[in-house]
Amino acid sequence: MTKGVVLWTIVGANLILLAAPTVIVLAASFTSGNIIQFPPDGFSLRWYARLLELTDFRDAFWRSLQVALICTALSLPVGTLAAIGLARYRVRFATAIQVYLLLPFTVPLVVSGLGLMFLFGAWGILDQLWPVGIATCIINLPFMIWAVAASVNALDPDLEHAAANCGAAPLPAFLTVTLPAVMPGIITGGLIMFVLAFNEFIVSLILTDARTVTLPVLVYNSIRSVVTPDLAAVSVVYIVVATTAILLLDRLVGLDTFLKSR
C-alpha cells in the first residue's frame, strides 16, 4: 500500500510539473491585461486577434511551415530506405553509421549548425530558406531511421520471401509488401520530423537572417526586448501543432503501436 502511494505521488508530481508550463501559457494567452500573469487578468481573445495582425509573426509561421515540409519530404524516402537497408542488409561501415545515429545526443546542435553554416556559406546558399529544411533533416534524420527501423524489425521476413516465391520482382515486392508493412513507422517518423523541424531553434538561429527568420527565432528575438501576451498566443500555436501531430499519430498508427515500437 505504501509503495503504491509513493509511486502515484511521484507520477502525480511529474504530471503536474510537465503540465504546469502548458497550462500557464494557455491561460496567459487569454488574458485581457497587457502583461503575462497567472491567473490571467480576465478573459479575452484580443491577443489572438492581434496575432493575426502581426505580419512578421504570420510570415515567420509560414516560413517555419515551409522548413518543416521540406525536412519531412526529404526524410521520408531517405530515412525509409536507410532504415530498411540497415535492418535487412549487411552494409559496409555499419558501425560508423550507428555512431552517426547517436550524434544528435552527443554533439551540441550549435556545433552542427556552425558546420552547416560554413558549408552553405561556401556554396552561396546561406541566404535562402530551403537549406534550413535540409539542415533540420540532416540533424534529425536518426529519429526517422529509428522509427522506420522499429517497423522493419517487426516485419516477418517470410512475407517478403512469399512474395518472391510467387514471382514478384524485388521492386513490386517492396512496393506491395515491405512498404505497406512498415508504413506505421514511416508515418510516425514523418510526423516526428515535421514537429522537430517546425520547432527547431538553434540551427534556425544560425542559418537564418532577417529575411528568412523562422517563428522560433522571431519569438526569441521578441522576448529579448519585452514579453507580452501575444507571445503566449504564439506559444499556443506550438501546442496546437504538437497536439495535432499526436492526434494524427493516434488516428493513423495508434499510440499503443507507437509506444510499443520505442
In the chain, where are the structural domains located?
1-44, 50-261
Q: In whole angstroms, give the CA distance from residue 71 to residue 135.
A: 8
Q: For 117-139, what is the mean pLDDT?
A: 87
Q: For 213-220, what is the mean pLDDT?
A: 85
Task: Tell me, rounded to whole angstroms, the distance of Cα 185 from its chain centroid.
Answer: 14
Going by pLDDT thresholds of 50, 70 and 90, the confidence category of residue 81 is confident
Answer yes or no: is pLDDT of 260 > 60: no
Any idea how long the chain is?
A: 262
Of the candidates 156, 143, 246, 157, the one whose C-alpha atom is nearest the C-alpha of residue 185 is 143
Q: What is the pLDDT of residue 179?
A: 78
Q: What is the pTM of this model?
A: 0.82
Answer yes or no: is pLDDT of 262 > 70: no
Of the candidates 189, 178, 176, the one whose C-alpha atom is nearest the C-alpha of residue 152 is 178
| Mean pLDDT (the chain, rounded) | 80
> b or e along 136-164 (b: 16 or more beta carbons within 10 Å of the residue's beta carbon)?
bbbbbbbbbbbbbbbbbeebeeeebeebe
Q: What is the pLDDT of residue 72?
A: 93
Digit-coded pLDDT (tens) for 2-46: 777 778 888 888 888 887 878 887 877 777 777 777 777 777 777
Q: For 190-217, what is the mean pLDDT?
A: 87
Instruction: Write out the H or E segment, with its range, that includes residue 251.
Output: helix 229-252
Q: What is the pLDDT of residue 124?
A: 83
**Domain over 50-261 is classified CATH 1.10.10.10:** no
C-alpha cell at 1: 500500500
Q: For 106-135, what is the mean pLDDT?
A: 84
C-alpha cell at 158: 517470410
Q: What is the pLDDT of residue 68?
A: 92
Q: What is the pLDDT of residue 70?
A: 94
Q: In whole angstroms, give the CA distance from residue 199 to residue 194.
A: 9
Q: In whole angstroms, give the CA distance from residue 104 to residue 113.
A: 12
C-alpha cell at 184: 506505421
Q: Who contacts 58 (Cβ-Cβ below 8 Å, separation ≥6)?
A: 51, 52
Q: In whole angstroms, give the CA distance from residue 192 to residue 185.
A: 10
